[in-house]
Structures are given as C-alpha cells and as structure tokens.
Amino acid sequence: MISDRSRLAALILAVLYGALGALLFVAPGWGSGVFAWNVSPMVAMTIGGWCLGNAWAALMIFRRPALRLAASGLVYLSLFGILESGVLVAFLDKLKTGTWLAWLYLATLGFNVVAAVLWVPEWRNWLSGAGQGDPGRARLGTTGRVLGVVFVLFVGFLGLYGLFAPAGSRGLSGGIFPQVISMFTLRAFGALYLSVALAPILLILTRDFETVLGHIVLSWGLIFFITVAAFVFISEFDLVARPGQLLYFGAYILVGAVTGFYLFRYGPGRADGDPAPRLPRD
C-alpha cells in the first residue's frame, strides 16, 4: 500500500486538476482567452481533457492505493508535472499571468512537482520489489508485451518530436493536430506524450498483469476526455486533404478500443487477496 501522505497528495492533485480541467473543458471559448498562454478553444478544451484525465488518475490512486495498482500512475503524474513545468520555464517570456485561471494552472503544476517529490519513497518501494507480487501471479503475455512496446515506441516518438522538433515542423501547421499551434503548445503536447509513453515501461519490465490492468484504469480518463474534445471539434479535421490528422484522431480510438477490451475481459485489476482474474491466453 502507498502511504497516507502519498494518498493525500493524490487527492489534492485530483481536486486541483479536476477544477482546472472542468473549467477548460466545459467553457473552452472563455478558457482560451484567460489561459496561461495563447491557445485556441480546441487546444483549451484538449488541455482541459488532459487535466480531467490527470484528475481521474490521481483519484484512482487515492481510491486504489495498492502499490501494484498505483505505481505506474505515480510515475505518469510525476513525469507530467516535471516535464510540463520544464516547458513553462522554457517559455517564461510567453506566459500570461494576469488571470486567476493562469495562476490555477501554475499552482496545479507546482503542487504536482511537490507530489512527485513526496512519491519518491513509493518509487523506491516499487523498484525494490515491494508491490510487484510473487512469481506465481498472473503475467502479461506475449501479445500484451508486443502491444506495450509498440505503444511506448510510437507515443514516445510523438513525445520527443513535440519536445524537440524545430520551428516550422509539420506538427505546427495542422499536419497532425488539426490547427496551427505555437511552439509553446507543441512542447506541452510533447511533454504529455512522453509522460504517457514512459509510464508503461514499468508494465513491460515487470509483466505483472494486475499492474497492467491498474494502469489501464488510470489511463482511461485521459483517453476518454481527449477523444471527446476531438469529437466536439470534429469540423476542424480534414482527413482527406491532411491524412496525417488521422494519427491524432485514430490513435485515441484505437488505444481506447484495445484497453477497453482488456478491461471488459479481465476486469480492472485487484489488490492482494481479491479473486483472481481470468488469465490472458496468447
């Protein structure tokens, strides 16, 4: 089990990300005008989707504190807070700090970094073998590992591209995301994707099937809310003239379908002592 201090940090983070995300997600037109940097309503709603997804992950960590179910979520949220804060530092001259919503975003990321520090002992426990289960527990099969590696490589590439692509790159001109975006926004996207890509490495290395299911539960909020934002702004997409946009739109649907199948077939994961799931056969 993770410590009470770590659970409390997760709960506070869920409240902060939930409040911030709800505002941006429900009122993206207003949010785009008072956000921490210049963004369109679609980008504002998408960032709101990130925040609501983070709130869901943090809430699940609080409610399901078994280390084997929470470990990858702690890694994801820690990486997200640290990388997004690094993006802010890199674009300090572009920050707009004249609104309370901008300060809410800054405060949320700031506490995320504090939480990442508080969670270091949990990482150590995980790396030392605590919470990984005994050798007789269900293990991720070959198909699952292959899917995991493909996911890490693909999303990791998008993350690194977003973080390091030079000015004038295709990601800025509507080739993947359907709108022209700033370097600030591209770097923020890159930080998100790299965080999403690195967290599942734990699952591939340990192969603990319960941890895989726990990670899927933690991730589903992010998948759901970003996909909803894409559908709300479906008119912005032109998949015929810009087929590369299918990568953005289709990736969420594909990942949602695959992970949804795992949840439907094997359940949401369990802490020690609960009934065993049906094992994957591959």
Contact 49, 97 (CB under 8 A): no
The pLDDT of residue 44: 95
Report d(CA 164, CA 158) in Å as an integer.
10
Report d(CA 82, CA 236) in Å as an integer.
31
The pLDDT profile of the chain, 282 residues, written as one tens digit per residue, is: 888 888 899 999 999 999 999 999 999 999 999 999 999 999 999 999 999 999 999 999 998 888 888 888 899 999 999 999 999 999 999 999 889 999 999 999 999 999 999 988 887 776 676 445 555 566 667 777 787 788 888 888 888 888 888 877 665 666 677 778 889 999 999 999 999 988 888 777 777 777 888 888 888 888 899 989 988 988 877 777 777 777 777 777 888 787 788 778 777 766 654 444 444 545
Report d(CA 37, CA 102) in Å as an integer.
8
Report d(CA 267, CA 276) in Å as an integer.
10
- Torsions phi, psi of 180, nearest 5? -70, 130
CB count in 10 Å sphere of residue 54 = 30
The pLDDT of residue 202: 76
Which tokens is 53 given?
């997804």
Q: Mind giving me the DSSP string for 154-196?
A: HHHHHHHHHHHPPTT-GGGBTSSSSSB--HHHHHHHHHHHHHH
Closest CA to 270 of 29, 66, 87, 13: 66
Contact 209, 138 (CB under 8 A): yes
The pLDDT of residue 117: 92
Q: How many Å separate Cα 104 from the centre of its chain?
A: 19
The pLDDT of residue 275: 43
Closest CA to 34 of 118, 86, 121, 102: 102
In angstroms, the first-to-last Cα distance of the chain is 31
The pLDDT of residue 170: 65
Distances (CA, A) of 282 to 108, 205, 239, 278, 279: 42, 18, 35, 13, 10
Which tokens is 23 given?
């505002």
* CB burial of residue 280 (10 Å; 0-12, 13-18, 19+): middle
- Torsions phi, psi of 208, nearest 5? -75, 115
Closest CA to 64 of 101, 108, 10: 10
The pLDDT of residue 271: 61
90's enclosing H/E stretch is helix 67-90
The pLDDT of residue 272: 55
